Amino acid sequence: MAKVSMTVNGKAASGEVEGRTLLSSFLRDTLGLTGTHVGCDTSQCGACVVHVDGKAVKSCTMLAQEADGSDVATIEGQANADGSLNVIQQAFQDHHGLQCGFCTPGMVMSAAALLKDNPKPTEAEIREYLEGNLCRCTGYHNIIKAILAASGQDVSAIAAE
């Protein structure tokens, strides 16, 4: 067992981990941040996406010890300071960009990383960026629409609310 320390959602966090402990397990099991979900074991589904030092990372694919000393952001830290939904979260609600909610944390974290690098992505750019995030409920329609809307683009012409 080894001790790891990191900043998670702006607060200091630490714990004892095995060498094989994944960052996703550390977040969920040690820190109790269960908003980060694990939907596969081959780094395909993206439900576990968090930000490590500002970059989107699949937390099931990073050892907790690798994140030692890092600045980690998870879905639990995304809302505005007053607790209201941030722009991306609000767009997902406004445009029905989620159903069962299981992929949603990863989708929101990926969308945030995309919009940070590319504030006005095209539909095609969003679809390509989300290749690493699987959703089984929405057929992606309203997720794409929500991210376009969150980037301030007009989505009124897109079929069906």
Partner 1 sequence: MPKDNDSGIGASPKRREDVRFLTGAGNYTDDINVHGQAYVHFLRADVAHATINSIDTSAAEAMPGVVKIFTGADFAEVGGIPCGWGVTDRHGNPQQEPRHPIIADGTIRHVGEIVAAVVADTVEQARDAAEAIELDLTDKPVVVDMAAALAEDSAKVHEDLSSNLCYDWVFGNDDDDAVQAAFDAAAHVTTLELVNNRLVANPMEPRVAIGEYSRGTDEYTLHTTSQNPHVIRLLMCAFVLGLPEHKVRVVAPDVGGGFGSKIFHYAEEAFCTHAAKACGRPVKWTSTRSEAFISDAHGRDHVTKIELALDSNNNFTALRTNTMANMGAYLSTFATSVPSYLHGTLMAGNYKTPVVQVNVKTVFTNTVPVDAYRGAGRPEATFQLERVIDKAARELGVDPIALRRQNFITEFPYETPVALTYDTGDYTATMDKLEEIADVAGFAARRAESEKKGKLRGLGVNCYIEACGIAPSNIVGMLGARAGLYDAATVRVNATGTISVFVGAHSHGQGHETSFPQVVADMIGIDESMVDIVHGDTGRVPFGMGTYGSRSIAVCGSAMVRATEKIIAKAKKIAAHLLEASDADIELKDGQFTVAGTDKSVAWGDVTLTAYVPHNYPLEELEPGLEETAFYDPANFTYPSGAYACEVEVDPDTGKVTIERFSAADDFGNIINPMIVDGQVHGGLGQGIGQALLENAAYDEDGQLLSASFMDYAMPRADDVPFYQVDHSCQTPCTHNPLGVKGCGEAGAIGSPPAVVNAVVDALQSAGKNVTHIDMPLSPARVWAAMNG
Q: Which is nearer to partner 1, 46 or 70 (CB)?
A: 46
Touching partner 1, residues 95-154 (CB under 8 A): 96, 98-105, 108, 123-124, 126-128, 130-131, 133-145
Q: How far is the CB of 68 from partner 1 (least distance, A)?
A: 20
Supply the DSSP symbol for 74: -
Among residues 44, 52, 63, 65, the one that binds partner 1 under rule CB under 8 A:
44
Q: Which two tokens stand for residue 160?
A: 């069906």
How large is the C-alpha radius of gyration of the chain?
16
CA angle centred on 63, ends 71 and 24, rounded to 5°: 75
52 belongs to the binding site for partner 1 (CB under 8 A): no
Supply the DSSP symbol for 47: T
Q: Which two tokens stand for residue 68?
A: 């030692």
Q: How far is the CB of 78 from partner 1 (least distance, A)?
A: 7
Q: Which amino acid is at 129?
A: Y
What SS3 class is residue 58? strand
Among residues 92, 111, 114, 150, the one that binds partner 1 under rule CB under 8 A:
92
Q: Which is nearer to partner 1, 38 or 113 (CB)?
A: 38
What SS3 class is residue 123? helix
Touching partner 1, residues 64-83 (CB under 8 A): 74-76, 78-79
What's the rounded Cα separation, in Å, for the pair 37 and 102?
A: 7
Residues near partner 1, by CB under 8 A:
18, 20, 28, 33-42, 44-45, 47, 74-76, 78-79, 85, 89, 92-94, 96, 98-105, 108, 123-124, 126-128, 130-131, 133-145, 158-161
